[in-house]
Amino acid sequence: MLRRQDVGHRVVVRRIVGVSQDRPIFTDALGELVELTETELTLVTAKGPLRVPLREVHRAKRVPAARRPPAADVIALELAANDAWPAPTQARLGGWILRAAENWTGRANAALAVGDPDRTLEAAIDAVEQWYAAKGQQALINTPMPLAAPVNAALDARGWTARPLTLVQTGAVQSLVTDIAARRDLPPVELADSPTDAWLAMVSEHKGELPAAARHILTAVPEVVFASVQDEDGSLLAVARGAVTGPAPGRWLGVSLLQTAPAARRRGLGRHVLRAVAQWAIQRGGVRAYLQVEERNTAAVALYRSLGFSTHHTYLTREAPLPVSPAARAGASAPPAA
């Protein structure tokens, strides 16, 4: 059976999917093990993420690794994404980046565990915990897989939990233009260098109130665009943000905050906005596009797959155990009331 040490590695899982003539029916799944809990495991397979209840697992084992993106490519993409989503407060821990942004979004408030932290792994985790404690925030660490498999194992041993798995998906910018038909039946996409109040209000409906740090993250990028589509009465139908970072050639387009108003969904507005953002990025040397999406958001994953995006790598946002206050500790140790 699989163990915590197998997270981040390629595995094969034989599962029981039924019974025929009193004999079990098996099927095999091959992929990267990205999460293992007491009740289920999660694989990223060629067809996408797959959750398997442990009660269905007949046999599972680690197998030789398939071709993966080189570690340098994962690090380069993570650093490009950091540049496109810049936390206002950042500090270095060797190659790791500590980030804080008034708790707005996990990415901007988690240490990025790439490269060498320039100390032992245990000392690095201690330093992360101390840095966030000094800011009054819960310590978070983003662990790109399989690059950060040793970090995940160490965090497991210290009782850190994990937020839902995030897929870092990539595709060709040119494909977003050539593979998406131009729509003359939809209102035009408006592109701006800064977000309007209405644009920010639509984002805040999904991301919560926007503190000053949020405005810094959104706008403190040299080449950034805020796309929107308005109805005839001026109400927003869809928005998105694009940021081009990295040196030429082969610059990255980061796509984020693609949202469609509930009443305007299933009209192709998401594709419409993405096409306009891609055209803007091509003019600035954008070659490859990336986005980050939770694997449980199946509708979004399906949309991006239809647009040619595939999973480059994954990451988990790990959460440190919350400290127990002295009052709570005293209450837990006190004898029950009569």
Report yes or no on 335 lying in a domain. no
In a shared domain, residues 263 and 308? yes
The angle at the Cα of 253, spanning 252 to 258, to the nearest 5 degrees, equals 155
Residue 247 has a pLDDT of 85
**Model pTM?**
0.79
Mean pLDDT, residues 31-59: 85
Per-residue pLDDT band at 200 (split at 50, 70, 90): very high
Instruction: State the CATH number of the domain containing residue 12.
Output: 2.30.30
In the chain, how many domains are there? Answer: 3
Q: Is pLDDT at 276 greater than 70 in this prediction?
A: yes
The answer to whether the CB of 126 falls within 8 A of the CB of 320 is no
The answer as to whether 259 is a domain residue is yes
Q: Is 326 exposed, middle or buried (0-12, 13-18, 19+ CB in 10 A)?
A: exposed
pLDDT of residue 65: 63
Band of residue 328 on the pLDDT scale cut at 50, 70, 90: very low
Residue 138 lies in a domain: yes
Structure confidence by residue, pLDDT tens digits, 278-293? 999 999 999 999 999 9
Among 165, 192, 226, residue at a domain's last position: 165
Find, among 50, 8, 9, the residue nearest to 29 by Cα: 50
Boundaries of domain holding 273: 168-312
pLDDT of residue 257: 97
160 and 172 within one domain:
no
| Mean pLDDT, the chain, whole residue set | 90
What are the backbone dihedrals phi and psi of residue 32, each rounded to the nearest 5 degrees, phi first? Answer: -90, 125
Between 139 and 331, the more confident residue is 139
- 172, 287: one domain: yes
